[in-house]
Amino acid sequence: MKIAFATSDRVHVNAHFGWAQEADIYEISDTGYKFIETLKFASNSNKDKDAESEDKTASKIEALADCTIVYVASIGGIPAAKLIKRGIMPVRPQSDQEEIISILNKLVQTLKGNPPPWLRKAIQKS
C-alpha cells in the first residue's frame, strides 16, 4: 500500500495538510518500504480566496487517491472528512519531530504483527 507524508524537509512530518507544498510517497508492506516519489503542490500563498483554497485541497486529495494513509502535522475537519470519504486515513504523528523513516519502520513492524482494525481494513482495500 502507499503512504503519504506531508513534509517541508523530507525528513519529518511537519506540514499542515492544507498548506503542504510537498508530500513524499512510499510503498510499504510487511517486508519493508521504498520511496516512490515526491508530489509537489501549488503554493497556497493567497489565503483569502476560499474557492481557490478549496480547489487546491481537492487537487491534493485527488493526487493522493491511491494512498491508504496520509501523515500530516495537522489537518482541518473538512479536509480530514473528505480524505476519509475517499478511503484515505489522515494520521498525526506523536510530534512534528518524528522522522518519516521512524514511522515507516514502526508501520512495517505493525504490519508483521497484529495491525489495529482500521489498518487491517485499509490493507484489505489495497
Report yes or no on 11 lying in a domain. Answer: yes
Compute the mean pLDDT over every residue in the chain, rounded to the nearest whole number. 89
Pairing state of beta strands 32-40 and 2-6? unpaired
pLDDT tens, residue by residue, 54-91: 667 899 999 999 999 999 999 999 999 999 999 999 99
pLDDT attached to residue 45: 54
Higher pLDDT, residue 25 or 121: 25
Q: Per the structure block, which three cell numbers stand in for 56?
A: 487546491
Q: Per the structure block, which three cell numbers stand in for 94?
A: 506523536
Report yes or no on 73 lying in a domain. Answer: yes
pLDDT attached to residue 122: 78
Q: What is the CATH number of the domain that holds 114?
A: 3.30.420.130
- Quick check: 53 pLDDT over 80? no
Residue type, 91: V
Q: Which residues form the domain of 19? A: 2-41+54-124
List the alpha helices (DSSP H) in 1-126: 50-63, 77-85, 100-112, 117-125
Report yes or no on 49 lying in a domain. Answer: no
Domain count of the fold of the chain = 1
Report yes or no on 47 lying in a domain. Answer: no
